[in-house]
Amino acid sequence: MKKFEIPSFYRSSIISRIKQYRKLTDTKKNDLKPFVLDFGTVMFFIPRHFGFCYGVENAIEIAYKTIESNSNKNIYLLSEMIHNPGVNNDLKDRGIRFILDTLGNNLIDWTEIKKDDIVIIPAFGTTLEIEAKLKEIGISAYQYNTTCPFVEKVWNRSSQLADAGYTIVIHGKHLHEETRATFSHSKIHGPSLIVRDLRETKFLSKVISEEKSKSEFYSFFSGKYSENFNADKDLEKIGVVNQTTMLATETQEIADLLKSTMINKYGKELLKFHFADTRDTLCYATYDNQEATYELLKNSADFAVVVGGYNSSNTSHIVELCEAKLPTYFVSSAEKVISRKLIKHYNILSKAEILTEDYIPNKDKVKILITSGASCPDSVVDEILTKLHSFFPNIQSIQELLNEKLKL
């Protein structure tokens, strides 16, 4: 796999060593057991896979190289490069301005953008409508395009489904930049519909089974289906793709439900004419990170710390997996880990930061799971790991223990 040139301040002195060791000792990625740092009074469990993925490193490399080679030009990012506040703030500090917010609302009027300016397309990709707008200005959407190749893979799969006469059902968050882009690309090829989760899919299943009316369909899925969508005929043949950062298990449940719905309506012998048995379009990093999280959670621990941007889809799903098993603290930076007694963390249900006291239990041996999302720099995990380690006095240094454990 290509090695990207990303700024050294995103690398780490702890996590990078652990990842390199795991890469050398487990070349086929078969061993999903976490790496353990045991300091006696505290143990840290670090999963096999987490942190920057291919698409994120590709986007960061392009963005920073663009800044370095275009100091005399106005440089814009269409929207957030990735869902990580540290990365986005650093790009802003270097003079990059964001045209849109994460919901697609303008932060800068399009009339301010000139044809000699540079506009970087973020890793999520963008809509065909915005590509056309850039073209009107005289800017190519492809010159500084950091769209993740796994997102483009979903677009290609959607096109194939439509060419075969299937309606495209997209498992995703309809306001997310990636899903908006995928929907824009898929709807030009054929009827398209976005479902958020299994609950919405169950409603769709009832529409297909005629337990719900077509008018109920249009009301329930308002804003989530393509123009001129015909619920009478466009739900006769369907295929499922997904936003690349969704939970793999949920996508499979959605596909299985729709498949069984088609079997019940048309019979197993005619299934292939009504349901495209697509392979999951989740990206490899999201899948690997989720599988590593499941393995991580097999270990008994007192709590988990998940690091990443609060609007990061793939990180929020890791939080959901951890919260189902043990107390979990979703933090964006080391400053949120205030002290041994106090932590500020994000609640994904209330969508707000909250303070929790006495999150580290008073016991002889504390066990902590620590992981991060695909858009989180390893350096931030380093900082949080180091800070947590500092709350336990008179123990071995992290580097000393690493030197002992990483002998090949």
For residue 228, CA distances in Å to 155, 373, 407 come to 20, 38, 63
**Is there a domain that residue 318 lies in?**
yes
94 plus 183 within the same structural domain: no
Residue 280: per-residue pLDDT: 66
Close Cβ partners of 42 (under 8 Å, ≥ 6 residues apart): 365, 366, 367, 368, 388, 389, 392, 395
46 plus 63 within the same structural domain: no
118 plus 232 within the same structural domain: no
Q: Which residues are catalytic?
A: 178
288 plus 322 within the same structural domain: yes
Range of the domain at 159: 151-276
302 plus 240 within the same structural domain: no
133 plus 160 within the same structural domain: no
Q: 176, 153, 166: which is closest to 103 by C-alpha? A: 176
Residue 293: per-residue pLDDT: 97
Domain C-terminal end among 242, 276, 310? 276
Helix (H, G, I), strand (E, B) or coil at 222: coil
**CATH number of the domain encompassing residue 196:** 3.40.1010.20
CA terminus-to-terminus distance, the chain? 23
**CATH number of the domain encompassing residue 133:** 3.40.50.11270
**Is there a domain that residue 228 lies in?**
yes
Q: How many domains does the chain have?
A: 3
Residue 306: per-residue pLDDT: 98
**Is there a domain that residue 352 lies in?**
yes
Residue 274: per-residue pLDDT: 97
**Is there a domain that residue 3 lies in?**
no
**Is there a domain that residue 265 lies in?**
yes
Domain C-terminal end among 276, 310, 341? 276
**Is there a domain that residue 146 lies in?**
no
Q: What is the pLDDT of residues 120-157, one digit of tens each?
A: 999 999 999 999 999 999 999 999 999 999 999 999 99
**Is there a domain that residue 144 lies in?**
no
Taking the model in full, what pTM does it have? 0.91
> Percent helix, strand and coil across the chain, each rounded to 5?
40, 15, 40
Q: Which residues of the chain have pLDDT under 70?
A: 1, 279-280, 408
Domain C-terminal end among 276, 309, 338? 276
Residue 408: per-residue pLDDT: 54
